[in-house]
C-alpha cells in the first residue's frame, strides 16, 4: 500500500510504531496468477449495472440458502453492521467458503476484491465481475485495484478485504496487511471485523468438496480510524496501530466463532 507517512512523523508516533509488532503476509506469485482478464466494456470497481445487480442478488440467494442448510450457519452480531454508508468488512480467512458465507451478514450489496487467478478464465472473469468483484495482483503494488477500492468506498459501498491476504491455517492470526486500515483512514470509514468458525474444517486447503459441518460468523463492533492530520493523511504509525487493533479484535472473534462451531482454537498448538 502507498506510504501515507508524513516526511517527519512526530516523535510520539515514531515511539508508538516501534512498539507495534506486525508482520506482512508472505504471498508467493505463482504462474497461474500472472495474468487475468477484465471483460470488454468493464473496469475494476465500476458502478454496478442493473444486470450486475441481478447476478449479485441471485448469488446472494444461493449463498445464503446453502449456508443456512448445508452448513447450518449461525450469525452473531448483525446489529453491529452499519445500515448506511461505506465500511470495510475484514474477515478471518481459512477457506474458499469464507467469501460466500459473508452473504449472511447483510442484505446490502458488498464489493469484493479477489485474487487475480479467479479472473483467468473467460467465464470466471465474466461471473466475478458481474457479481461486483474485481481482481488484485497479489504480491505487488496494484494501484488500479487500490483506486477501485477507493472508488467503492467514496460511493458509500461496503467493501470486503481479507487482511490476511490469502487463506491461512491454524488458530493464530499472526500476519496482516495494512490495506484495510489504510483505506479506512483514507476514506474515514469504519472497519467491520468478522470471525468465521468451522470453515477450515468444512473446506480447508487441499479439500476438493466441502463437508456438511456447522459454520458460524461472529461480527464485531466497528473499528473507527483516527482522523486525518493537517495534511489530510492518517500517518503510517497510526495505520499500523489500527492494523494491530484489528488483528487483536479478529483473534477474539475467531476464537469465539470457532467455539460456537464446535472447533475451538487451541493456542500454542500448530494447526486447528
Tens of pLDDT, residues 98-133: 999 999 999 999 999 888 888 888 899 999 998 989
Residue 3 in domain: no
Three-class SS state of 238? helix
Strand 191-197 relative to strand 159-160: parallel, antiparallel, unpaired?
unpaired
Residue 5 in domain: no
pLDDT classification of 226: cutoffs 50, 70, 90: very high
| Containing structural domain, residue 66 | 48-261
CATH number of the CATH domain containing 124: 3.40.1130.10
d(CA 10, CA 36): 42
d(CA 146, CA 154): 12
Domain count, the chain: 1
Residue 22 in domain: no
Interacting residues of 95 by C-beta distance below 8 A, sequence separation 6+: 167, 196, 199, 200, 202, 203, 204
pLDDT classification of 165: cutoffs 50, 70, 90: confident
Cell of 73: 450457519
Q: Does 267 have pLDDT greater than 70?
A: yes
pTM confidence score? 0.84
Residue 29 in domain: no
Residue 270 in domain: no
Q: What is the pLDDT of residue 76?
A: 98
Residue 268 in domain: no
What would the pLDDT profile of 29-73 be if each residue is shown by its tens digit? 554 455 777 877 788 888 999 999 999 999 999 999 999 999 999
Residue 27 in domain: no
Residue 149 in domain: yes
The mean of the pLDDT values for the chain is 86
Percentage, residues of the chain above pLDDT 90: 62
260: nearest Cα among 178, 181, 199, 211: 199
Amino acid at each position: 500500500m502507498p506510504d501515507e507517512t508524513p516526511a517527519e512523523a512526530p516523535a510520539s508516533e515514531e515511539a508508538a510504531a516501534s512498539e507495534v509488532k506486525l508482520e506482512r503476509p508472505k504471498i508467493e506469485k505463482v504462474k497461474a496468477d500472472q495474468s487475468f482478464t477484465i471483460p470488454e466494456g468493464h473496469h475494476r470497481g465500476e458502478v454496478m449495472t442493473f444486470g450486475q445487480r441481478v447476478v449479485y442478488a441471485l448469488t446472494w440467494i444461493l449463498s445464503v440458502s446453502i449456508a443456512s442448510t448445508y452448513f447450518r450457519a449461525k450469525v452473531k452480531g448483525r446489529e453491529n453492521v452499519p445500515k448506511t454508508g461505506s465500511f470495510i468488512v475484514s474477515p478471518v480467512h481459512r477457506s474458499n467458503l469464507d467469501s460466500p458465507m459473508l452473504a449472511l451478514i447483510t442484505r446490502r450489496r458488498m464489493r469484493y476484491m479477489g485474487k487475480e487467478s479467479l479472473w483467468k478464465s473467460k467465464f470466471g472473469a465474466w461471473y466475478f465481475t458481474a457479481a461486483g468483484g474485481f481482481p488484485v495482483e497479489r504480491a505487488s503494488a496494484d494501484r488500479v485495484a487500490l483506486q477501485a477500492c477507493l472508488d467503492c468506498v467514496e460511493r458509500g459501498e461496503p467493501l470486503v478485504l481479507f487482511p490476511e491476504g490469502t487463506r491461512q491455517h491454524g488458530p493464530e492470526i499472526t500476519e496482516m496487511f495494512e490495506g484495510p486500515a489504510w483505506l479506512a483512514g483514507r476514506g474515514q470509514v469504519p472497519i467491520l471485523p468478522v470471525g468465521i468458525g468451522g470453515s477450515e474444517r468444512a473446506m480447508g486447503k487441499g479439500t476438493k468438496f466441502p463437508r456438511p459441518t456447522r459454520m458460524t460468523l461472529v461480527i464485531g463492533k466497528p473499528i473507527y480510524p483516527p482522523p486525518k492530520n493537517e495534511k489530510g493523511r492518517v500517518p503510517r504509525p497510526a495505520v499500523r496501530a489500527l492494523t494491530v487493533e484489528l488483528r487483536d479484535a479478529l483473534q477474539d472473534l475467531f476464537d469465539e466463532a470457532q467455539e460456537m462451531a464446535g472447533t475451538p482454537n487451541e493456542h500454542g498448538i500448530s494447526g486447528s
